[in-house]
């Protein structure tokens, strides 16, 4: 082979490095290489990223946003205006009851009627404005989130594969799913809430200063006090949280669970369940220790905050009474307006923290999106047929290459290679020689131009090392084994250079999609989409001349391709034929079946170039011969590139190219290479100890389909490939009280803490009726000031507010401190039991779709947290709310039963029903939101995981179009649901105003007739108002309690369903020296998830010391025998005898000690080599 090196020599001659310019120039060149090798500067999130999200909005979106902003501002103003009306009510009441009042009963009633109507008008305004606010922000947030998700996926598929390779496993998938959800929260309801609360703050400050600036300034000292408390405690809390994050015990526990569940069969085979459980338990235990550091800080912060709020009442009334006595205030109503306005400012400032945090998180999330969206796109090229041909030789000229994320590792070293058109070119060589890299460069997954990776990922890999990826990578294939050849991260970066040409044109100048449409690829681990067999094969037609053919013609082409790949052999036996669903990643098919479909998909487009990367590696011997014959036939009249480790598959290649250390070591035919003494190729052949046998005739007459029965002619699926659709396991259902009672009974060690929490909660709950009573007393004391200017009454009751504040503050500290520690102890206990029970479940348990790796991993992290909420602060909050309600109703009836009766019969039910509607429909909407996004996210995750398959088949546009359709369906569904949810939200958020209007109107009537006193009215009014809010708070725990109860049921059921092997551990297999005999005696078996039997009366015997091999067609039951020997499944009939002893007579965990399993896909766990061994 002759290669023209003219361009290379000319380039070298003109290069500065070719001239003797001394060490300075060499250093400069090395610095330049180092700069090229570095990752792109890591992007820092800033507010511009957040604002840029809105560039995805349409004109309609901006109009809707404007309406939403004005509605939020209007809704926020209603609360300060309500305070003004409330102050007028109180002022009218006190003036009417003051000695010497000239107000008549009719005038008093008219003023009360007018103010009640004002209050009701505010209710209507807030109802309408909040409904608009919620609807608009919810819908626009979903629309913008959908738009940016779609753009991200489009830009990601426009990148080279090295960008995806440089990300941590699951990074891109996590961005388009969970990160997108975070972004959506920050631009939807949370943004509207932020605007609403800020408008409330501004309006409340204006109202307070207009009423009395001096009282406002004094009362505002509460805000300074709260900032002081937060400024003291928050840094300490953040410091502890940073420590927890640094240690990342919870994340490490999740990693252990994910890793173990992903390889649960290997864990079981090694008998490592207890070891893994102990390791998991250590990390979980660390989280409890960290929680102990937080509980006193959070408890102290909340205790001081509530002390400040209650003490603020005392300060305001004390100074207000003093100002009133000096004539600087008209009536007590002004004091209440200022006090409530300042309190609204305090509460709104606190409530803005959550949406502000959401905006901050959305800013960071947006940055993660724009890192990929703004990344430079590789050149796509413009040349197509007839300007360039795909039937010419492919030439590598002096190609030196290193992967962008590993710039110090040379994979190809000055490679000169010609892939001859129309011939079968086989590329072989030791691992790490660069075989798969050549495929990646031809496919243009990688380029010889400047490339970039993500900065944070490079840093992550330097610190933590590379993680195992499920999706195979060319980088993994060729660079992973080069550590013996070159230091991975030492020395100067490799300078990438060289050219790849075809038909005299650089590959980078050829239109990317056209070029890939000329290539058919069958990879080592074929990926199938969760669709029908027909759809999976028909994907190969995209980009081909038959892409727009009729459905009938496409089916004909698919059937033809399946016949050529011998996939029709098993398709014809399926009930639904081509319309059979293959499951996630083809999980319902065996490895050989998946491989044959991938071959069919690659040849259906009749490509000019066929690339076979270990195309027959997962097929049994018989299948390999048949498929190899089909591939030989398919390789006629096209350029074929075969990457192979099984050298028997390339014997007939027109040319065999042997790579070693990134260079061509040898090339020629099989016969010529075998004559080279000490040659690399002949060494590989002898190392494999192969008998290459007779050549396989590619003619049709040599291909025979075996129709003989294999293992009773029953088609099976290996244990690792079983159908995951099965009936749900019957779990015992317990209601909330049964779950709580069971957990409470089992947690006797925390009973003292529980009762202490109960007592402290009762003390906090007593605050509502006591506050109402003191409030009524201090209001009436203003009448005494009017008569004798005495401040003794107001001073005394102000002091009582300070005493109440002290009690509430101490009680809150005890509640938070004790409840947090108690719940943490319970969570850790049951989380360890939960994981332990999962690890010891039968293998068949994990075949159920509800028990998948991802589902169980998620539940292991989430269910104990739900349990912690059930038994912790949420439970304490419910106790506090219940004591509040009981105390409020009791004191209301004691002071004014007529007002209390109406309030309890009308006000409380309305408040409770409105709160119920709010939580019910919020939960329903969120569930719908999660379900629909789960569907689109699952599709996006699957597509990203199949990046190489998608790009090689030029499916990018089709995938993005389907993803867009899913997102559009979600938006439409969310629109229909959000209309009613927003109306119910608006009503529930404003119903308190209507209820207060009724209370004031009816209370005013009773006051005017002197049926109740002023103190009785205010005690009853404040008690019912605060009690109603407490009832809503308790009801708000309903959805949480339902989820927590479900989580508790899953934990308890999992623990109770843990299999217990009752066989004595003293039972042993006799005479195991030198091996043992294995006999399958008339066994019958079917997988629990399938109705089709695998074995019907199979008998098989392997003598002691024999080396036995199991062969057979794909899906004939080979792996099933291994699974049964490992006792992953139980037999339906028959026995397995080991040295004549029944396997079931031996304790399962002792039994597995006799076996060692090397699986098809080797699994290594995080940790040292020693730990793995």
Query: Could you tell me which of 189, 192, 170, 190 has the C-alpha nearest to residue 179?
Result: 170
Whether residue 658 lies inside any domain: the answer is no
Check whether 930 has a pLDDT greater than 60. Answer: no
Asked if residue 742 and residue 617 are part of one domain, the reply reads no
In order of 287, 828, 972, the CA distances from 292 in angstroms are: 9, 12, 46
Q: How confident is the model at residue 129 (pLDDT cuts 50, 70, 90)?
A: very high
3-state class (DSSP) for residue 1075: coil
Whether 83 contacts 204, CB under 8 Å: yes
Angle made by CA atoms 891, 897, 901, in degrees to the nearest 5: 105
Residues 770 and 883 in one domain: yes
Question: CA-CA distance, 136 to 986, in Å (whole number)?
Answer: 12
Q: How many domains is the chain partitioned into structurally?
A: 3
Q: What is the dihedral of CA 277, 280, 282, 284, to 10 degrees?
A: -130
The CATH number of the domain holding residue 523 is 3.40.50.300
Cα 671 to chain center, whole Å?
Answer: 54
Candidates 813, 797, 771; CA nearest to 306 is 813
Facing residues of 399 across strands?
Answer: 415
Q: How many residues does the chain have?
A: 1173
Order of strands, edge to edge, in the sheet holding 639-643? Answer: 519-522, 609-613, 639-643, 424-428, 655-660, 663-668
Asked if 258 and 279 sit in the same domain, the reply is yes
740 and 593 in a common domain: no
Cα separations in angstroms, 1011 against 41, 116, 1016: 76, 20, 10
Please tell me whether residue 133 adopts helix, strand or coil conformation. Answer: helix
Q: Are residues 728 and 604 in the same domain?
A: no
Q: What's the CA dihedral at 712, 717, 720, 723 to 10 degrees?
A: -140
Domain contains 734: yes
- Give domain status of residue 728, yes or no: yes
pLDDT at residue 1041, rounded to an integer: 64
Q: Does 44 reside within a domain?
A: no
Is the pLDDT at 388 greater than 70, yes or no?
Answer: yes
Two tokens at 924? 């329903």
User: pLDDT tens across 19-56, in order?
Assistant: 334 444 455 555 554 544 444 556 678 888 899 999 99
Same-domain status, 1082 and 1038: no
Which token pair is 329?
A: 């205030």
> 844 and 800, same structural domain?
yes
- Preceding omega of 430 cis (within 30 degrees of 0): no
Residue 627 has a pLDDT of: 65
**Residue 394 CA to chain centroid, in angstroms?**
43
Measured between alpha carbons, how far apart are the two ends of the chain, in Å?
A: 48
Q: Are residues 590 and 713 in the same domain?
A: yes
User: 748 and 860 share a domain?
Assistant: yes
162 neighbors 404 (Cβ within 8 angstroms): yes
pLDDT classification of 457: cutoffs 50, 70, 90? very low
CB neighbour burial string for 712-726, b if at least 16 within 10 angstroms, e if fewer = eebbbbbbbbbbbeb
Residue 958 lies in a domain: no
* pLDDT band with cut points at 50, 70 and 90 for residue 656: very high
DSSP state of 403: -
Q: Which residue has the higher pLDDT, 1000 or 629?
A: 1000
The CATH number of whichever domain residue 299 belongs to comes to 1.20.1560.10
pLDDT digits (tens, 9 = 90+) for 1003-1053: 888 888 888 888 888 888 888 877 777 666 665 555 556 667 777 778 777
Helix or strand or coil: residue 1129? Answer: coil
Average pLDDT, the chain: 77
What pairing do the DSSP bridges indicate for beta strands 424-428 and 655-660? parallel
Helix (H) or strand (E) segment spanning residue 414: strand 412-419
Residue 165 has pLDDT above 90, yes or no: no
User: Helices marked H in 212-272 — which ranges?
Assistant: 213-219, 221-247, 249-262, 264-270
- Cα–Cα distance between 990 and 968 in angstroms, integer? 32
Are 596 and 701 found together in one domain? yes
In terms of Cα–Cα distance, which of 82, 316, 319, 307 is closest to 203?
82
Please report, for residues 274, 723, 732, 831, the alpha-carbon distance to residue 1053 in angstroms, rounded to integers and kept in the order given.
20, 24, 6, 13
**Segment 163-169 mean pLDDT:** 73
CA atoms within a 13 Å half-sphere pointing along the CA-CB vector of 930: 7
| Contact in structure between 610 and 1102 (CB atoms under 8 Å) | no
* Mean pLDDT of all residues in 783-806: 79
d(C-alpha 779, C-alpha 784), whole Å: 10
Domain end: 717, 747, 763, which one? 717
Give the span between the Cα atoms of 90 and 211, in whole angstroms.
15
- The predicted structure's pLDDT at residue 729: 41
Question: To 5 degrees, how large is the angle CA 585–CA 590–CA 594?
Answer: 55
Domain boundary among 717, 749, 766: 717
Query: What is the DSSP code string of 66-112?
Result: HHHHHHHHHHHHHHHHHHHHHHHHHHHHHHHHSTT----HHHHHHHH
pTM value is: 0.70
CA distance 565 to 1071: 48
Write the DSSP symbol of residue 718. Answer: -
pLDDT of residue 689: 53
Do 1082 and 1049 sit in the same domain of this protein? Answer: no
Element (H, E) at 1101: strand 1095-1102
Q: Which helix (H) or strand (E) holds 336?
A: helix 332-373
Structure tokens at 45: 């999130």
Mean pLDDT of 929-956: 77
Give a yes or no: residue 459 inside a domain: no
- Classify residue 730: in a domain, yes or no: yes
- Pick the most confident of 115-119, 252-256, 983-987, 1090-1094: 115-119
**Residue 929 and residue 231: Cα distance in Å, rounded?**
37
Instruction: Flag whether 191 is in a domain.
Output: no
Encoding tokens for residue 494? 């490799």
Percentage of residues of the chain with pLDDT beyond 90: 12
Residue 399: HSE in the Cβ half-sphere, 13 Å Cα cutoff = 30
Pair 703, 811 in one domain = no
* Structure tokens that stand for 574 in this block: 């399926």
- Domain membership of residue 1150 as a residue range: 1078-1172
Judge whether residue 973 has pLDDT over 50. yes
Distances (CA, A) of 776 to 211, 448, 798, 1020: 22, 82, 12, 9
């Amino acid at each position: 082979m002759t290669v023209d090196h003219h361009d290379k020599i000319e380039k070298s001659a003109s290069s500065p490095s070719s001239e003797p310019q001394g060490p300075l120039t060499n250093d400069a060149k090395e610095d330049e290489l180092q700069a090229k090798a570095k990752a792109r500067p890591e992007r820092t999130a800033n507010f511009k990223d957040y604002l840029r999200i809105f560039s995805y909005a349409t004109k309609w979106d901006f109009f809707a946003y404007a309406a939403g902003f004005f509605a939020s501002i209007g809704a926020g103003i209603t609360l300060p205006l309500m305070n003004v009306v409330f102050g007028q009510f109180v002022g009218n009441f006190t003036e009417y009851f003051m000695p010497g009042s000239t107000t008549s009963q009719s005038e008093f009633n008219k003023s009360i009627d007018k103010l009640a109507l004002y209050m009701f008008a505010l209710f209507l305004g807030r109802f309408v404005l909040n409904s608009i606010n919620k609807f608009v922000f919810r819908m626009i947030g979903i629309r913008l989130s959908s738009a940016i998700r779609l753009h991200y996926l489009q830009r990601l598929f426009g990148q080279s594969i090295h960008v995806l390779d440089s990300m941590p496993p699951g990074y891109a998938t996590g961005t388009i799913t969970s990160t997108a959800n975070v972004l959506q929260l920050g631009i939807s309801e949370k943004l509207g809430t932020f605007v609403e609360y800020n408008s409330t703050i501004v309006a409340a400050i204006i109202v307070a200063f207009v009423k009395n600036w001096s009282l406002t300034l004094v009362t505002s000292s509460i805000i300074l006090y709260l900032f002081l408390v937060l400024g003291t405690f928050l840094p300490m809390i953040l410091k502890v949280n940073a420590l927890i994050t640094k240690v990342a015990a919870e994340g490490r526990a999740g990693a252990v669970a994910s890793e173990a569940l992903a390889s649960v069969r290997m864990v079981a085979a090694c008998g490592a369940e207890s070891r893994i459980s102990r390791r998991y338990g250590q990390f979980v235990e660390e989280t409890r220790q960290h929680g102990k550091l937080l509980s006193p800080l959070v408890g102290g912060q909340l205790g001081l905050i509530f002390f400040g709020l209650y003490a603020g009442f005392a300060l305001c009334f004390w100074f207000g009474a003093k100002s009133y006595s000096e004539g600087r205030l008209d009536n007590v109503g002004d004091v209440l307006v200022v006090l409530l306005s300042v309190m609204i400012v305090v509460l709104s400032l606190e409530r803005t923290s959550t949406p502000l945090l959401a905006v901050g998180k959305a800013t960071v999330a947006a940055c993660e999106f724009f890192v990929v969206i703004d990344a430079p796109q590789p050149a796509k090229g413009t040349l197509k047929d007839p300007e360039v041909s795909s039937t010419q030789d492919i030439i590598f000229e002096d190609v030196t290459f290193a992967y962008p994320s590993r710039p110090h590792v040379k994979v190809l070293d000055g490679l000169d290679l010609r892939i001859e058109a129309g011939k079968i070119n086989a590329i072989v060589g030791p691992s790490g020689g660069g075989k798969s890299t050549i495929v990646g460069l031809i496919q243009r997954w990688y380029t010889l131009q400047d490339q970039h990776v993500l900065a944070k990922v490079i840093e992550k890999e330097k610190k933590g090392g590379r993680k195992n990826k499920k999706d195979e990578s060319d980088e993994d294939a060729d660079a992973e084994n080069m550590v013996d050849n070159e230091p991975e991260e030492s020395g100067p970066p490799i300078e990438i250079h060289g050219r790849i040409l075809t038909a005299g044109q650089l590959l980078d100048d050829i239109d990317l999609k056209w070029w890939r449409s000329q290539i058919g690829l069958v990879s080592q681990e074929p990926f199938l989409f969760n669709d029908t067999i027909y759809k999976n094969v028909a994907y190969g037609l995209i980009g081909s001349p038959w892409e727009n053919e009729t459905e009938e013609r496409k089916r004909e082409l698919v059937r033809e391709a399946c016949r050529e790949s011998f996939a029709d052999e098993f398709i014809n036996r399926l009930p639904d034929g081509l319309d059979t669903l293959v499951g996630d990643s083809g999980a319902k098919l065996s490895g050989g079946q998946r491989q044959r479909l991938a071959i069919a998909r690659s040849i259906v487009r009749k490509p000019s170039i066929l690339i076979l990367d270990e195309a027959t590696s997962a097929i049994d011997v018989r299948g390999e011969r048949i498929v190899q014959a089909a591939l030989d036939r398919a390789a006629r009249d096209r350029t074929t590139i075969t990457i192979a480790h099984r050298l028997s598959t390339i014997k007939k290649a027109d040319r065999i190219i042997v790579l070693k250390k990134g260079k061509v070591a040898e090339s020629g035919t099989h016969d010529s290479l075998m004559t080279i003494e000490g040659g690399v190729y002949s060494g590989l052949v002898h190392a494999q100890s192969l008998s290459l046998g007779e050549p396989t005739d590619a003619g049709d007459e040599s291909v025979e389909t075996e129709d003989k029965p294999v293992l009773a002619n029953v088609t099976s699926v290996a244990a690792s490939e079983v159908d995951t659709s099965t009936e749900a396991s019957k779990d015992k259902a317990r209601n909330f009280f049964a779950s709580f009672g069971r957990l409470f009974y089992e947690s006797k060690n925390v009973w003292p803490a529980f009762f202490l929490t109960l007592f402290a909660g009762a003390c906090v709950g007593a605050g509502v009726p006591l506050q109402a009573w003191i409030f009524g007393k201090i209001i009436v004391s203003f009448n005494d000031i009017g008569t004798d200017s005495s401040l003794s009454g107001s001073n005394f009751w102000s002091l009582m507010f300070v005493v109440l504040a002290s009690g509430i503050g101490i009680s809150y500290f005890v509640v938070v401190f004790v409840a947090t520690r108690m719940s943490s102890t319970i969570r850790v206990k049951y989380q360890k039991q939960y994981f332990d029970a999962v690890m010891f479940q039968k293998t068949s348990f994990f075949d159920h779709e509800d028990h998948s790796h991802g589902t169980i991993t998620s539940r292991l992290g989430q269910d104990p947290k739900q349990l912690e909420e059930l038994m912790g602060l949420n439970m304490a909050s419910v106790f506090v709310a219940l004591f509040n309600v009981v105390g409020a109703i009791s004191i209301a009836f004691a002071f004014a039963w007529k007002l209390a009766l109406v309030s309890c019969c009308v006000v409380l039910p309305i408040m409770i029903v409105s709160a119920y509607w709010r939580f019910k429909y919020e939960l329903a909407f969120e569930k719908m939101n999660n379900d629909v996004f789960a569907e689109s996210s699952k599709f996006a995750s699957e597509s990203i995981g199949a990046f190489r398959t998608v790009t090689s088949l030029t499916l990018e546009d089709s995938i993005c179009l389907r993803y867009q359709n899913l997102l559009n369906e979600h938006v439409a569904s969310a629109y229909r649901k959000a209309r009613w949810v927003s109306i119910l939200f608006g009503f529930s958020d404003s119903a308190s105003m209507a209820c207060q209007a009724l209370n004031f109107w009816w209370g005013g009537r009773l006051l005017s007739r002197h049926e109740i006193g002023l103190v009785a009215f205010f005690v009853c009014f404040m008690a019912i108002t605060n009690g109603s809010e407490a009832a809503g708070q308790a009801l708000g725990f309903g959805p949480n309690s339902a989820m927590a109860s479900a989580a508790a049921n899953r934990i308890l059921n999992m623990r109770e369903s843990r299999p217990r092997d009752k066989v004595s551990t003293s039972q042993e297999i006799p005479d195991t020296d030198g091996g043992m005999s294995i006999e399958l005696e008339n066994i019958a078996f079917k997988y629990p998830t399938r109705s089709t039997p695998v074995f019907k009366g199979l008998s098989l015997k392997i003598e002691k010391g024999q080396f036995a091999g199991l062969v057979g067609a794909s899906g004939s039951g080979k792996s099933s025998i291994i699974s049964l020997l490992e006792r992953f499944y139980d037999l339906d009939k028959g026995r397995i005898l080991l040295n004549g002893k029944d396997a079931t007579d031996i304790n399962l965990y002792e039994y597995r000690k006799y076996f060692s399993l090397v699986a098809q896909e080797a699994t290594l766990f995080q940790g040292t080599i020693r730990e793995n061994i």
